Homo-oligomer: A and B are copies of this chain.
């Protein structure tokens, strides 16, 4: 991953960390539970957008390199891994 992508991911993770701490305060202060639920779901959506960035970077680098190589085992490994990402999305 290049330096710019790394900085962007870390910045997003810090925002998410702050969001989690905000939810801790909401629980401690007895905020209405359905309002807390809205926040935990917003965090899950933010994590999903993060996954999307990670996967996009992965496709443009590792997957492209592997599929263009002549190493059959590596190509299979990378495609198998992509299938796991897809299958896990529903179970997540």
What residues make up the interface of A, taking CB atoms closer than 8 Å to B? 1, 6, 9-10, 13-14, 16-17, 20-21, 23-24, 27-28, 30, 33-34, 36-37, 40-41, 43-45, 47-48, 50-52, 54-60, 62-64, 67-68, 75, 79, 81-83, 85-92
Smallest CB gap from A36: residue in B: B54
A83 to B9, CA, bound (A): 18
What is the total number of copies of this protein in its complex?
4
7 shortest interchain CB distances as A-B pairs: A67-B67, A89-B89, A13-B24, A17-B20, A33-B58, A59-B79, A9-B27
One of B21, B44, B54, B68 near A68 (C-beta < 8 A): B68
Is B20 within 8 A of A6, CB to CB?
Answer: no
